[in-house]
């Protein structure tokens, strides 16, 4: 029986994507692991690999098609002995016209194992259902651990999962209104000249996630001014010594290191909200917001406390460059407990950032500016001062703990040599 290939979820937040390019054509043979298409997600352009062997019998979605929902059939794969005549008239083939069609009913959810989705090919699922094999008991040998036909054929039949196929799916809660309805807004501006800008996948995801975050995460804010003169002097000295290696440290590199070390000094704040519990992480995985055309990425610098300033600088430049080209893989922008958003280079004095769940905090960094300050000896002096605001999830971090974290960040930046100890 022909196998429908479905639009995959290639990132944790992907709900739909653009089928940018087919790398195979009808009649081509494919094997497990072969790259068949390039798909633009809400975050990046990624490769779609085959998980079963067979022949491409029919391409249902033309390349360049936007807004293809996850789990929508995009092609049909034929097994040995099958031909295009076996495909017949499928609902997917009829839903392929360019004009928008009503959304099809969502595909049944994949089985769950320890709370995580089990990735298996459609053929593997069908064989497992026929043989009464529990997919959660199998280890996949396909790309990224996906369960494929060979894995199921080698398995012994057993009790099938106790999921009643006839049970109605849980109703999906309607999205919370985030403002006036579209038709109301259009009527309000009917007599004004305007241009409509369509939302791409990234902008839709940013809108949904940040609306949810601002509505559901109990934010509170802690503010401190940080003197940068010691960092600027130390940075200048290091850059002279690193010039021969082609490394040039930025103030942001010091901020990343200061935050990573502070998370080790205040380990209770190195945590994420996990629904019904808090996870306290051991490593300092720090996300850094990178502005790109049409949105932003937050690539994660893992084990940042263990890396040198030069290593952090090199890694950050690489991640930022590939973020702007939308070439980051999901594992490079998923995770972390803490984020940094620096708008100082745009001349912004201070601002409040929105937490990116499940992170427990985000540091908003403003521009450094010369200001009069009162020294410890009571004398007034001029110093380069940077305003920072720590946005904190009160479910994870209480006021005193958040204050300790921000104080540790300040101490690291005002005594940069300590960060290298």
Q: What is the DSSP string of 349-401?
A: ----PPP-TTBSEEEEEEEEEEEEEE-TTS-EEEEEEEEEEEEEETTT--HHH
CA-derived radius of gyration, the chain: 26
Give the torsion sign (CA, 234, 240, 245, 246): positive
Q: What is the DSSP string of 217-264?
A: S-EEEEEEEEE-HHHHHHHHHHHHHHGGGT----HHHHHHHHHHHHHH
Strand partners, 222: 390
Question: Sheet of 73-78: strands edge to edge?
Answer: 3-6, 73-78, 54-59, 29-30
Angstrom distance (rounded) from CA 125 to CA 90:
19
Q: Is-contact 312 257, C-beta < 8 A?
A: yes
Which residue has tokens 């195979």?
24
Lookup: tokens for 84: 């295009």
Indicate the length of the chain as a whole number. 421
Q: Is-contact 388 251, C-beta < 8 A?
A: no
Q: Which residues are the active-site residues?
A: 394
SS3 292: strand
Report how far apart the first and last C-alpha atoms of the chain are (Å, whole number): 64
């Amino acid at each position: 029986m022909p196998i429908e290939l479905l639009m995959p979820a290639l990132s944790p937040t992907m709900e739909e994507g653009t089928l940018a390019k087919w790398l195979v054509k009808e009649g081509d043979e494919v094997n497990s692991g072969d790259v068949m298409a390039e798909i633009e997600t809400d975050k990046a352009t990624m490769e779609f690999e085959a998980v079963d062997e067979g022949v491409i019998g029919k391409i249902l979605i033309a390349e360049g098609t936007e807004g293809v929902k996850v789990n929508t059939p995009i092609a049909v794969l034929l097994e040995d002995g099958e031909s295009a005549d076996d495909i017949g008239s499928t609902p997917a083939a009829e839903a392929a016209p360019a004009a928008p069609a009503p959304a099809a009913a969502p595909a049944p959810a994949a089985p769950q194992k320890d709370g995580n989705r089990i990735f298996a090919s459609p053929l593997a699922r069908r064989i497992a259902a026929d043989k009464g094999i529990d997919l959660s008991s199998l280890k996949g040998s396909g790309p990224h651990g996906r369960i494929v036909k060979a894995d199921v054929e080698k398995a012994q039949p057993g009790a099938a999962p106790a999921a009643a196929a006839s049970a109605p799916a849980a109703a999906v809660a309607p999205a919370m209104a985030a403002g006036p309805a579209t038709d109301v807004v259009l009527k309000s501006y009917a007599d004004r000249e305007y241009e409509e800008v369509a939302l791409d996948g990234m902008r839709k995801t940013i809108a949904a996630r940040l609306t949810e975050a601002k509505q559901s995460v109990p934010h509170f804010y802690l503010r401190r001014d940080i003197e940068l003169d010691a960092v600027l002097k130390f940075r200048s000295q290091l850059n002279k010594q690193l010039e021969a290696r082609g490394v040039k440290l930025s103030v942001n590199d010091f901020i990343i290191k200061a935050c990573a070390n502070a998370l080790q000094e205040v380990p209770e704040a190195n945590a994420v909200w996990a629904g019904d519990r808090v996870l306290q992480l051991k490593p300092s995985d720090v996300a850094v917001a990178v502005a790109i055309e049409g949105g932003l990425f937050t690539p994660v610098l893992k084990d940042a406390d263990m890396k040198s300033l030069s290593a952090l600088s090199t890694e950050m430049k690489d991640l930022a460059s590939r973020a702007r080209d939308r070439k980051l893989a999901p594992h490079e922008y998923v995770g972390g407990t803490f984020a940094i958003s620096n708008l100082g280079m745009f001349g912004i004095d201070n601002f409040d950032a929105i937490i990116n769940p499940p992170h427990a905090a985000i540091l908003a960094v403003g521009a450094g500016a010369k200001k009069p300050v009162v020294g410890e000896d009571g004398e007034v002096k001029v110093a380069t001062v940077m305003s920072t605001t720590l946005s904190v999830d009160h479910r994870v971090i209480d006021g005193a703990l958040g204050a300790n974290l921000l104080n540790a960040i300040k101490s690291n930046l005002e005594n940069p040599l300590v960060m290298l100890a």
